[in-house]
Chains A and B, each alone.
Chain A
Amino acid sequence: MFPRPIEKATPAVQTTYKTFLPVALFIWLLPLLAIFMTSIRPAADINSGNVFGWPSDFLLIENYTAVFTQSEAARYFLNSVYITVPTVIISVALACLAGYALAVYRFRAAIPLFFVFVAGNFVPFQILMVPVRDLSVQTGLYDTVTGLVLFHAAFQTGFCTLFMRNFIKALPYELIESARIEGVGEFQIFWYLVLPLVRPAIAALAVLIFTFVWNDFFWATVLTQGEASKPITAGVRALNGQFVSQWHLVSAASLLAAVPPVAMFFLMQKHFIAGLTLGATKG
């Protein structure tokens, strides 16, 4: 293990380390703590310039309720769910199929196709912006939840396919080989043999894509206009304009927007990290 385990150090060093750890964390998360403190203070504090100091009163429930009663926040929140959940399902499903094809069959186009998916996942959004917006306008999908879902699903398929393909490639190939000799059909092999084995990969991708899409701001700005399909990220920005200098409410809304991905991360930490590191934790 590197660095040398702290247990082997002198007691003085150990104590220093253990006291410094919470201090470091406090400094690291200071921005978040500050915004939390802002979100529970009364409006009077903000008006008198006390934005980050000690609140004069604690209005946790009042402020967080006000976000929902005084704005469209609930609508935005729901939109985010409607956009994120189908996207996760579609992109992971497509990637299971494509990843299986690219990992199991030996055909000449396999590697080039794989690299197309990988490269597509890295392109700047702006090169897609005008045509995708145009396509959405022409098909009547502009400013709809469906429009956002279809785009996100397509784009995230690149990353998901990269991940799935590598995951399936690491499975023992003899398994598939012997199933074929037994006369099992190709789709049956995929459905009954491979799919149960890639469950960890599905979990990892699901949490990761959930977070990516939930936090998306660019496409929410480009593909939506009104309240009907605006997700929470674009919503927070709209609220920032609506609640002029009511920072206690804006910060409460911001923190609410962060709750689902944060919860996702804490509940599925192992899968989340496996996804981010492209499966490096398997070893």
Chain B
Amino acid sequence: MNTDISASTSSASLGADVQLDKRSWFQRNKLQVAPWIFLAPAMLFFVVYVIAPIFQSMWYSFYEWDGIGEKVWIGLDNYRELTDDDRFYTSLWNNLLWLVLYMLAVPAGLFIALFLNQTVTGMRIYKSLFFFPFVISQVVVGLIFTWFYNPNFGIVGKVWMFFGADPPSILGDERFVTYGIIFAGLWPQIAYCMILYLTGLNNVSPDQVEAGRLDGARGWKMLRHVILPQLWPATFLAIVVTVIGALRSFDMIAIMTQGGPYGSSNVLSYYMFETALSEYGFRMGYGSSIAVVLFFIMLFFISYFLWVMYKDEREA
């Protein structure tokens, strides 16, 4: 009886009891086998649709391939072509713009969260309504802002005309187009960061705030030295989702400009799609090489995020 319990609860004593144990192999090894059975379905799905395609894409990037015919091995030619591709550099530059400007969502979200962190009647409704833009599809957000920016009938046009100026065509002008799209993208992203901070502010310890007040900390000083350190988990999450969101930006560009005018609002994600799957031709190999570049940019950030998570994991 005694051996039975020890065998099923700890694997260390298995070896010694193996002679006495008449249960099946599965019964004896269930603590080693069970996790794999639980993991199998999720792993199968994930390997087929996520892990394997990453490597397949890398593989395809060494080929010239139209998606239907024979693949032709061309080595590094796709990457060589990239170094000489102006549209690629425009996209890369726009990705950088997205990354930098999208980050404004983090302080802006914090600002709105601080503004809303009160207990006036109806505050819950206000908070939900401020969060609204995040719940809507980016397709819809993109459409709304396309109309907004329209110089003939959009709100932007109306405001310009009110001041007696000629309205600019924001989405038709190479100089403004990317900023216009990023501005539209910030709207839902700020809402997301706001909700992260509102939750964070809820968890701020009231004792420390009181202690800070007794020490004479107020306003900015209080925020900087007492509140922000406690908000670090929210800030970290806000940065993660904003970086990912910036690099994933696709929907807005597809809806608002399709990368135009003349590719000036392209980003890597859209340029890749355009090369591999649109009227401009089916260059799957070349498209894959763009995807690989984007993947490594993302991997750089993912590694950092995972490293931070890993440290937290070990401390816990």
Contact = CB atoms under 8 A, between A and B. Distances in A.
Interface of A: 1-3, 5-7, 17-18, 21, 24-25, 28-32, 34-35, 38, 49-52, 90, 94-95, 97-98, 100-102, 104-105, 107, 110-111, 113, 115-120, 122-135, 150-151, 153-155, 157-158, 161, 180-181, 183, 186-187, 190, 211, 214-215, 217-218, 221-222, 233, 236-237, 240, 247, 250-251, 254-255, 257-258, 261-262, 264-266, 269, 273, 276-278, 280-281, 283
28 contacts: A17-B120, A21-B126, A25-B130, A28-B129, A28-B133, A90-B45, A94-B41, A107-B32, A107-B35, A123-B295, A123-B298, A124-B268, A125-B250, A126-B269, A126-B295, A127-B294, A129-B287, A129-B291, A130-B60, A130-B288, A132-B53, A155-B50, A186-B31, A215-B137, A236-B140, A277-B200, A277-B234, A281-B202
Given A124-B295, A127-B54, A250-B143, A117 B46 contact: yes
Contacts of A90: 45
B120 A126 contact: no
Interface string B257-269: 0000000000011
Given A125-B250, A158-B50, A233-B137, 17 more contacts: A25-B129, A28-B129, A38-B147, A52-B154, A95-B42, A117-B46, A122-B298, A126-B272, A126-B287, A127-B53, A130-B60, A130-B67, A157-B42, A180-B9, A251-B144, A277-B195, A277-B237
Nearest to A121: B50
A111 B140 contact: no
Contacts of B144: 31-32, 34-35, 251, 254
Contacts, number: 296
A120 B237 CA distance: 17
Given A118-B309, A129-B291, A131-B53, A113 B153 contact: no
A254 B143 contact: yes
B129 A29 contact: yes
B96 interface: no
A101 to B, nearest CB: 4
Given A98-B39, A105-B31, A131 B60 contact: yes
Given A1-B209, A2-B117, A17-B120, A151 B49 contact: yes
B128 interface: yes
B120 A127 contact: no
Given A25-B130, A101-B39, A273 B8 contact: no
A217 B137 contact: yes
A181 B154 contact: no
Given A101-B34, A151-B49, A269 B39 contact: no
Contacts of A119: 302, 306
For the complex of A and B, 4 pairs with smallest distance between CB atoms: A154-B49, A101-B38, A98-B42, A131-B53
A112 B39 CA distance: 13
A98 B43 contact: yes
A116 B309 CA distance: 13
A119 B307 CA distance: 11
A124 B291 contact: yes
B62 interface: no
Most buried by B among A50, A90, A265: A265
Contacts of B54: 123, 127-128
Interface in B51-76: 51-54, 56-57, 60, 67
